[in-house]
Amino acid sequence: MLFSKFYDVLEDQRLHRLLFLILIGIYIYNELRSWWHVLGRPLYVRITTTLSDYRSGKYYKPWGSNAPIFIVSTKKQIAELSEATCLSQRAVYADMFGFKHTMNKLEHNTSNHKVIRTRLYSRILQVNGPIHLAALYPRLVNQFDASLAKELQEGRILDGSVSLPIADTARRLVSKLMSLMFFGDSLCSDEEFSSALLRYPQDMVKCMAAFQVVPSFMSPIIHALLTNRGEAMHLIQRKLAYCIRPENSSQTDSKQSQRLTILHNIITLADSSDYWNPDLLSQSLLGIWFAASHQPWMNLHFVLLELCTRKEWQNALRQEIEQYGPLDYKGLEQLPLLDGFIKETVRCNPLDTLAIRRKALEPYTFSDGSVSVPSGATVCVSAHDLMHNPQTYAEPDAFNPNRYLPQEPNAQQRKFTEVSETYPIWGFGSLACPGRFHASLAIKIAISQLLLKYDLSLENDKARTKWTWETFTMPYKSTKIILKDRSL
């Protein structure tokens, strides 16, 4: 109990802000001691400039001192927001997560080579990637079983069941699955590399929070303090760059296994390009990894919470899974109720209440004249409003996975990976999340395997499960799930 409360205190955003303000104070104090007699007036100017930065809101915030601009969100407007060349998705997230520091000086405030990058990412993740998922499926299930067994060994035994922290368990399970899809068996089994893959997204989120409460000139210091000088980032990029170099690219997995991975495909597709080189490819893989590994474990966390509080759905989903069993990749993708449950969980628990964020690299006015966006401003849509529109979702505040089930015998299944202007969690248009098929598969494997083997419940039905920061929803590390073996 005491340990749980300690974790909750550590996650308190007010404590985070206080710690960062203390760091600022220490930094200024050291500057005063070291340079007061030498610099004199210049030091005074520097301090007053820092104070002026605070007053004028010059933080490393995603949208500076101004709130984001919302568009009315018709389908035409959303499409224009998604595709306008001077409205940059890359730039807004680079500001938010401080890519200059967290992605090793990644260039972002430019549209140069945008088409080259987009084509490569889409080809790898939306075309080549899904083709290989069916062949990867048995290995992924084996990886999940091995990872879960390790988690169970370290769990706490309660009356023959096992108690596990939902957030950390979901994070580790999904990270292992995504690692296998991305990098193959050899790198996935490299514990040093796997540990870095797990730490890196956490480093990104910590820096995102920290950069918003310190002046921008302190960002390198804060990044170094929070990430041990970018240890995980540099280790990942170093190992990837080694594997990407032509003389080393065939030394990892067997040819049959290797060709199924994103790493192999990105090497193959970029081989004839003058733009891509090992360092740039490894840097880009860092960004793809963060996007692909962070969202699925968070969504899995909320799916598990919903299953624990809505136990009747465990039986319903289990029956559907058993009906199509034994499952292969094709069978797992043909479970409409499972897709519906995940879609509804994410609709009711969006990780971010905003979506399709773009930063204007130059002034832009929408074609219908409705919105003018100044250079440097962020424009976006309200994901919450779009997914709670009663014209699209009847009784939008009710949790109802059945709303996605086909209403007619030959109607098309409503997939979790579906991209729609009424369900913007994946983005929209050509920049819709290309890794959504991999993320969806990781979540579905985890849910199906857990439901087939265990009954799920919360250790404490009254435990706090989530908290909000800015527009984001965050899990509590202290929340525990009970896995009760169904065979006993």
Q: Domain coordinates of the chain in residue numbers?
A: 57-485
Query: Could you report the per-residue pLDDT of 168-180, keeping only the tens digit for each?
Result: 999 999 999 999 9
Q: Are the CB atoms for 340 and 379 separated by under 8 Å?
A: no
Query: Could you report the per-residue pLDDT of 190-208, keeping only the tens digit for each?
Result: 999 999 999 999 998 888 8
Structure tokens, 258: 């290797």
Band the pLDDT of 255: cuts 50, 70, 90: low
As a whole number of Å, the CA-based R_g of the chain is 23
Q: Which one has a higher pLDDT value, 160 or 68?
A: 160
End-to-end CA distance of the chain: 28
Instruction: Tell the burial category of 435 from Cβ atoms under 10 Å away from its Cβ (0-12, 13-18, 19+).
Output: buried
Q: Give residue 66's identity as a one-letter amino acid code.
A: N
Structure tokens, 343: 């879609």
pLDDT at 226 over 60: yes
pLDDT for the residue 429: 86
Max CA pair span of the chain: 82
Q: Give residue 182's identity as a one-letter amino acid code.
A: F
pLDDT at 42 over 70: no
Band the pLDDT of 2: cuts 50, 70, 90: very low
Band the pLDDT of 431: cuts 50, 70, 90: confident
Q: Are the CB atoms for 420 and 79 separated by under 8 Å?
A: no
Contacts of 72 (CB under 8 A, 6+ apart): 370, 371
Q: Encode burial over 108-125: b for 16+ CB neighbours within 10 A, e otherwise.
A: beeeeeeeebeebbbebb
pLDDT for the residue 31: 46
Q: Are the CB atoms for 64 and 211 separated by under 8 Å?
A: no
Asked, as a colleague might, if the bond just before 165 is cis with ω within 30 of 0, I would say no
Closest-CA residue to 170 (of 487, 455, 479, 387): 479
Q: Which one has a higher pLDDT value, 447 or 258?
A: 447
- Pick from 210-214, 259-263, 393-397, 413-417 the range whose average pLDDT is largest: 393-397
Band the pLDDT of 9: cuts 50, 70, 90: very low
pLDDT for the residue 422: 94
Poorest-confidence range of 8-12, 45-49, 303-307? 8-12
Task: Phi first, then psi: give them for residue 162, nearest 5 degrees.
Answer: -120, 130
Band the pLDDT of 95: cuts 50, 70, 90: confident
Q: Give residue 19's identity as a one-letter amino acid code.
A: L
Superfamily of domain covering 57-485: Cytochrome P450 (1.10.630.10)
Indicate the helix (H) or strand (E) that contains 69: strand 69-70
Rounded to an integer, the average pLDDT of 322-332 is 88
Q: Which one has a higher pLDDT value, 302 or 39?
A: 302
CA distance 82 to 76: 10
